[in-house]
A and B are shown apart, each in its own frame.
Chain A
Amino acid sequence: MEEKRKTERNASGVRLWLGFALLFAALLGFAFWNIVAGSTALSVSEVFDGLLHANSAHRVIVMDVRMVRILPAILLGGALALSGFLLQTFFNNPIAGPFILGISSGAKLVLSVTMIGFLSRGIAVGSVTLIVASFVGAMLSMAFVLAISYRVKRMSMLIICGVMIGYICSAITEFVIRFADDSNIVKLHDWAMGSFANIQWDNVIVIAAVVLPALVITFLLSKPIGAYQLGETYAQNMGVNIKAFRIALILLSGVLSACVTAFAGPISFVGVAVPHLMRRLFKTAKPIVMIPACFLGGAVFCLFCDLIARTAFAPNELSISSVTAVFGAPIVILVMLRRQKEGGR
């Protein structure tokens, strides 16, 4: 018995290291592939030349075309998956996520109103303004979803309401964009579909400044998150200050998904698919593993999807959201079917 237990524990330890090794390898692999591939294909030596030498002939394409897109894909992909994981914990619902619950769409709505308002007056929109507007939108949708979640206890109803909120917000966004100046429309339209294409270096710095601290804070909350997975009653008895904890969870997931929407537009299904894949990969739901795993997994997932978005039909580019939907939506259906089989709600 003791022996068996020991081998089982060792097995889970090995799984842990292998899992993270795999994620890191995939991250580096896809990042590198993303640098190499594109309308101007680069060789390996050209890539290193561009990365290491400031005055290299390949500097511009490596750094200002490829890297400026890869880094946000990593950071925002991780942020999305993490946000999804937090929302799933909060609602105790495996298919909750910022896109499905309409939070991304709410952010999109307030963001487009703000952008049109600024642009029509000829004021440039800064990174911080983008994030703040997006956060306000995310919080407004979140407030709706929360209000609904107090009334409906069935998880399917919550999801349906979230999807409806998403549709309403998208419809109003369409409507608002109609009234924008012609010059704004093109850019807004691109962004409203979801894309990593329009991000600048100064945006990347702001993204890192928001996402990385949020990641650290989330990781430090892994203990109460673990307690919360047992349900509120037990979490409180374990010594978690439920009220403060719930607020922290809402703010963190809101900030993360708002940051994504602000710079890359709404990106679908990453928040649901990645945490699910990570649970399967690591065979655990422990936050202390899941939080870094979701972040890395989200980064890998978005790098992969962006690679397809850029190269599959080059020179035409797909919206990132349609690629993530193709890979993410089946996973969501799978999760729901599994729940059904297990006799879940």
Chain B
Amino acid sequence: MNGTYYISTERMTVGYDGKPLIENIEIGVRRGEILTLIGPNGSGKSTILKSMIKQLRLIAGTVVLDGRDMAGLKERDIAKKLAIVMTDRIKGELMTCRDIAATGRYPYTGRLGILSKEDKAIVDAAIETVHAQDFADRPFSAISDGQRQRILLARAIAQQPEIIVLDEPTSFLDVKHKLELLDILKNMVREKQVAVIVSLHELDLAEKISDRVVCVAHNRIDRCDTPENIFTDAYISELYGIENGSFNALFGSVELPAVSGVPQVFVIGGGGSGIPVYRALQRAGVPFAAGILAESDLDYPVAKALAAELYEIPAFSTATEAACSAAAERMRSIGKVLCTVPAFGETNAANKDLYEAAKEAGILTGADAFLKGVEA
């Protein structure tokens, strides 16, 4: 993580048609590091990337690439250092995937762009890196979005850059291809010490692959920090202005807003068993109470987000008598109880007691039956 930035901006102001959108941007990335841009739609992530790769004229400031002002560098010299994977759609008429990947060799070939043996070997290696051998000779127009994105990455790799800039490379990919693409990227960074700047919409992925995260919102760089410091529930909710629902930093996932109102059912949960039921109740629009959950419980974050009332206790503690009786009382007043816990362990005596009490009172229902009743 040491060393100076490979590419950095100095008081860069970006925008369109001379109108500044974001001013005085100071970001940078070192070799062997992934810098991720996150932020709401339209916040200017693409604008920043386009400005850094010279597609957009800077309104003020400079971009420094490998110690030199990029404005003074020749296109060809930049091309040997910086490769891109952008959202522009490529037609690639009558071109095979290999042809597309081979365009990465452009800065290295001669006047007429004829590939040497060495160039061809580099292209083949790039295709192998993205595991695209099987469809390398198929027409570029005939492959899937996921394959296309991999070929574009192979193209960038064949360019043998020191830095790759990617604008939302995972947007149209399914889960498997998202993971594959980011894994390839991560390997590139690790093995070849490439610098990467990438904009992502998937917060869970951003949290996992980034070395540092830049948050773009409200016409400024809101924060630039490590993922640990960025991905907190409160900050992400604020960054994206999440009002309907919540973000869970630990899971890197979002939950819809809780159904408010008087709880119609009390859910005894724990150990992850309650999560599908909480979500089912949320979908069905049924307000519910949940308990008794320790803050360390796997169910806790989801219950916290979705339950109308939550009976919680500190992490790794057993419930006090007071907590137990409060929960039991509420359970009786609601009059309907679901238990999702398959087996109670020694530290979960409180919930076992609740379960026994509900059984005794005859207010225990099965989860499936209850949900069916709600649907009907």
Contacts and interface: CB of A to CB of B under 8 A. Distances in A.
Interface in A70-126: 92, 94
Contacts of A342: 141
B346 interface: no
Given A226-B113, A230-B100, A288-B113, A238 B107 contact: yes
Contact of B76 (A4, A92, A239, A285): A239
Interface in B138-160: 141, 159
B53 A237 contact: yes
A168 to B, nearest CB: 31
B358 interface: no
Nearest to B110: A223
A223 to B, nearest CB: 4
A279 B100 CA distance: 17
A274 B308 CA distance: 71
Contacts of A5: 137
Contact of A234 (B88, B99, B112): B88
Nearest to A241: B75
A236 B76 CA distance: 9
Contact of B103 (A222, A238, A279): A238
B137 A223 contact: no
Contacts of B93: 94, 229, 279, 285
A227 interface: yes
Nearest to B104: A238
A8 B137 contact: yes
A288 B102 CA distance: 15
B42 interface: no
Q: Interface on chain B toward A: helix, strand, loop, or mixed SS?
A: loop
A239 B90 contact: no
B92 interface: yes
A239 B80 CA distance: 8
Interface string A270-293: 000000000100011110100000
A231 interface: yes
Contacts of A240: 75
A15 to B, nearest CB: 12
Given A5-B137, A233-B84, A238-B106, A223 B90 contact: no
B90 A234 contact: yes
A147 interface: no
B214 interface: no
A220 interface: yes
Contacts of A52: none
A1 interface: yes
A200 B92 CA distance: 43
B176 interface: no
A259 B255 CA distance: 67
B296 interface: no
A283 B95 CA distance: 9
Interface in B80-117: 80, 82-84, 86, 88-95, 99-100, 103-104, 106-107, 109, 111-114
A220 B110 CA distance: 11
A234 B103 contact: yes
Contacts of B103: 226-227, 230, 234, 238
Given A226-B103, A231-B88, A284 B94 contact: yes
Given A8-B137, A226-B113, A234-B90, A285 B84 contact: no
30 contacts: A4-B137, A8-B137, A223-B113, A226-B113, A229-B92, A229-B93, A230-B90, A231-B91, A233-B55, A233-B84, A233-B86, A234-B84, A234-B86, A234-B90, A234-B103, A236-B54, A236-B55, A237-B82, A237-B84, A238-B104, A238-B159, A239-B74, A239-B75, A239-B78, A239-B80, A239-B107, A279-B93, A279-B94, A288-B112, A288-B114
Interface of B: 53-55, 74-80, 82-84, 86, 88-95, 99-100, 103-104, 106-107, 109, 111-114, 133, 137, 141, 159
